[in-house]
Amino acid sequence: MLKENTCGTYYCIDKVVIKVTKKKKGYFVNEKDGDYGFSVVANSGKDAKRIAWETGDLDCDYTEVRVTWKRKASVEDLPIGIIENENLALRREVCDYLEYGECEECEEIATVQLYEKRILCKNCAETLNLMKGR
């Protein structure tokens, strides 16, 4: 007996049911030529694409949806689905930057990135000398 469901695969071996949970991964799903997209926690790229598509907010054909697996993302403790909190998505490295984020240092709304675990605009990152390796 082998049964699939959305959160994992159940195996029945000698009447003992073992739940094998698939590893969660972070994906960034966006329109082919657009910057706007969704940070998604899913078990596969296919699932991530479906989850983002179901919002109805991707303004393109299904075949034009682009899915990027963010290998560095750590999302194991987050639920399957879209990460609504943009800062969280950035901190977990599911998205690379926020176009209208709030800088932790100067509190300006600007394009922000993660520098040494802090959400900062480019100016503050330069001032604080956190630009190394970027």
| Site for Zn ion, rule CB under 5 A | 103, 105-106, 121, 124
Smallest distance, Å, CB 110 to Zn ion?
Answer: 6
Smallest distance, Å, CB 109 to Zn ion?
Answer: 10
Nearer to Zn ion, 58 or 90 (CB): 90
Nearer to Zn ion, 51 or 124 (CB): 124
* Burial environment of residue 90 by CB neighbours within 10 A (0 to 12, 13 to 18, 19 or more): buried
Smallest distance, Å, CB 122 to Zn ion?
Answer: 8
**21: CB partners within 8 A, 6+ apart:** 7, 8
Longest dimension (CA), the chain: 62
Nearer to Zn ion, 7 or 128 (CB): 128
Smallest distance, Å, CB 88 to Zn ion?
Answer: 19
Nearer to Zn ion, 28 or 115 (CB): 115
